[in-house]
Chains A and B, each alone.
Chain A
């Protein structure tokens, strides 16, 4: 029980300190909304007046508390640039980013565990070595290169999938929407798989060398069946790493969304930062931070179930 309390309090402290960090970092950035809206020829007087209208001349602590207290009530504020509610815009963008991140994570976990196990069993054979080398190469190639290569092959040459974009009707036209996410999901999951394969393989190797494995084999099980008994052990670190990788995945999503011109959360964030739409950026980051912390918490609890030894 104390474990649960400890984990939850770590999460709360983590989120709280992240909000301070986000708030401060956004104010340290050079340039602000006034210069970005009025352009290069704006006079200092006009800039100052606009800043006052936006409330940026109030004490920082007041601005911070305003933001946090509103956020706690579920009000994420309005974009300084468009005037739209931030909550609605985030929800809108999540319709692209959520499936992107979820599907690529799922694909990555499943393939990584499968490949990792194979690679462990055949560690000294060609198949195993090829699998590990491919994983290394996968790690070395930047996401955007993978994306561009896939576009050139499947969209420009073969013309079987769109080069990018998302249908105007969104998920209202599920087939078109699904098709436009195929290449982005593959792109994002390739890098992710490459990272996870190494963990899956090393954990599988540990198990292959263990007494439990030898016993299972001695009891007459095939290698595969014997290894299957260790699924939980292999899955647990893979899940932990996946949760840890979530933030990397979101940065990857930023790149993928821009290469594939997808209206997702990542591309929105990049634009908002460029426009110095601080209210929106800080609230978007808040949502992401809370999301990441909560998912990690959930993974911790799942791992406790998968591997009860952790609790002792």
Chain B
């Protein structure tokens, strides 16, 4: 792998930059020392140099165990930056080789072969085929608690992983169209063989080394100089964590951080947009904000009632109220970045009087009491009043009940004791959750299940796409839930920061191409 040599001009530029940084750093230090005696000082913010970028996040990892601890915080910082898999997913959603130099899929879709490249772990040991076999075989032991159950399920169709010299073969019992994607995510991470401490350290092969963790505050990544591919553009990347969204916004406004990787309250965007030194980025996610209805409970066991609920809600007005107009109306459970997306907003469109009449026809008495359980997250709280009001206008008497996430998981998700709730379903390719009649929607439709199964077994991509498109349409026509909007991925950056991934296509937050250009 050729290593890109810096040209003379860029070397020269770096030299001058370092000098000017040195000078201003000294001036700042003096100002700080003088200033802190009087407790106030201008321009004392930590000097941001071109070799360092600070990114602001809301969720801090609880430990570093990428395979054993749920949640997005760990893969966000470690996946693709510190740890790598055989393959990786890039911003436009396509999958490319990573630790595999190349890979092949057999015609029957049951055998995947990966040719490994020469790579090194951060502790200096070389990558071997044994490491790959060992790492992926961890996912085949369905008794283990060291690996998240969701990953065990993702690799359920894998029979065995074997190695011959530097070629690794994955053999499947049946075709699995999601295997490659799953290999790009946390389940596909390659560890050094016989690693035992997953929670405390992270020894990967990625472009950045896990350098330092100030708990409650930040994680520092340093560029890995022996990286097999193109080295990270910025030497030091700091992930700073703000449990409070307002604190994150303020840090961005005050210039303490270079990138605000998530905008939790879109109504604050106006402030950022009005600033010349900041840029707002808007990309896509896989997160469908869903108004879930309990299909096993009257009156929502009636498709006419569920359709009426959808018709009672003016999504456009709702998006304006709840998400400052930044969401996308989708009319179904598929984000526009999936090949099988089609605009389904013409199914059950907003029509208040039609909704009212349909409810009367379905025998729903005016003033029927129902409960809307609202978890403590702003897309839900911001939209709950609007929904209660709109459903009130067509004949329901809605009680809004705030619930904690623990209660939500226990009562709603596990025990399915609810009428309506709002939650964002963030998993990619998650149409299968509606094919599980035991899932908390309690949506039970044989035709839909068959379509999802057929898509999973489809040999050709076109066939799969067509089947999933049909499934998505059927799903929308059955209205097991309402889909309020597709969550945008909103970020704010300083104008001179480049190389950010705009779309949220997986769990990682890839920092390798981020740099400041001035």
Contact = CB atoms under 8 A, between A and B. Distances in A.
Contacts of B17: none
B216 A263 contact: yes
B254 A162 contact: yes
A259 B246 CA distance: 7
Interface in A141-179: 148, 151-152, 154-156, 158-168, 170, 175-176, 178-179
A152 B250 contact: yes
Contact of A39 (B148, B199, B242, B407): B148
A263 B214 contact: yes
A275 interface: yes
Given A82-B62, A258-B244, A164 B404 contact: no
Interface in A91-115: 92-93
A179 B44 contact: yes
Interface stretch (B67-75, B122-130, B450-458): B67-75
A38 interface: yes
Interface centre among A92, A267, A276 (most CB of B within 10 A): A267
A159 B199 contact: no
B250 A179 contact: no
B70 A38 contact: yes
B254 A39 contact: no
Contacts of B217: 165-166, 168, 261-263
B267 to A, nearest CB: 15
A155 B250 contact: yes
A287 to B, nearest CB: 16
A81 B39 CA distance: 39
A65 to B, nearest CB: 26
Contacts of A277: 62
B221 to A, nearest CB: 13
A30 B407 contact: yes
B149 A42 contact: yes
Contact of B36 (A89, A148, A179): A179
Interface stretch (A45-53, A197-205, A237-245): A45-53
B243 A271 contact: yes
Given A160-B41, A164-B242, A30 B404 contact: yes
B199 A163 contact: no
Please name the 4 residue pairs, one residue from A and one from B, whose CB atoms are nearest each other, closest first.
Answer: A39-B70, A263-B216, A31-B406, A163-B254
B33 interface: yes
A29 interface: yes
24 contacts: A37-B68, A38-B145, A39-B149, A42-B70, A46-B149, A50-B145, A82-B62, A82-B199, A83-B63, A93-B216, A152-B250, A154-B40, A160-B41, A160-B42, A161-B40, A161-B44, A163-B254, A165-B217, A179-B44, A259-B244, A261-B217, A261-B244, A261-B247, A262-B217
B44 A160 contact: yes
Nearest to A268: B216
A164 B247 contact: yes
Nearest to A177: B36
Contact of B251 (A42, A43, A152, A164): A164
Contacts of A37: 68-70
Contacts of B15: none
Contacts of B39: 179, 182
B284 interface: no
Given A82-B63, A261-B243, 6 more contacts: A36-B70, A152-B250, A159-B254, A161-B44, A163-B247, A259-B244
A267 B254 CA distance: 22
A261 B60 CA distance: 12
Contacts of B215: 82, 89, 92, 263, 268
Interface residues of B, number: 55
A148 B254 contact: no
A5 interface: no
Interface in A264-281: 264, 267-268, 270-271, 274-277
Interface in B390-419: 404-407, 409-410, 413
Contacts of A170: 214
Interface string B16-37: 0000000000000000110110
Interface centre among B44, B242, B244, B256 (most CB of A within 10 A): B244
B62 A275 contact: yes
B36 A175 contact: yes
B251 A163 contact: yes
B192 interface: no
Interface residues of A, number: 61
Nearest to A166: B217
A219 interface: no
A163 B250 contact: yes
A241 B150 CA distance: 52
Given A30-B406, A30-B410, A166-B217, A41 B153 contact: yes
Contacts of A154: 40
Contacts of B283: none
A41 B215 CA distance: 27
Given A39-B71, A152-B250, A163-B254, A168 B243 contact: no
B247 A258 contact: yes
A29 B63 contact: no
A35 interface: yes
A23 interface: no
Given A81-B63, A164-B256, A176 B32 contact: yes
A166 B217 CA distance: 7
Contacts of A81: 62-63, 69
Interface centre among A43, A264, A268 (most CB of B within 10 A): A43
A40 interface: yes
Contacts of A162: 44-46, 254, 256
A258 B248 CA distance: 10
Contacts of B256: 155, 162-165
Nearest to B220: A168
Contacts of B407: 30-31
B83 to A, nearest CB: 18
A261 B62 contact: no
B379 interface: no
A35 B415 CA distance: 14
B200 interface: yes
A275 B69 CA distance: 11
B430 to A, nearest CB: 11
Nearest to A277: B62
B253 interface: yes
B109 interface: no
Contact of A156 (B216, B250, B405): B250
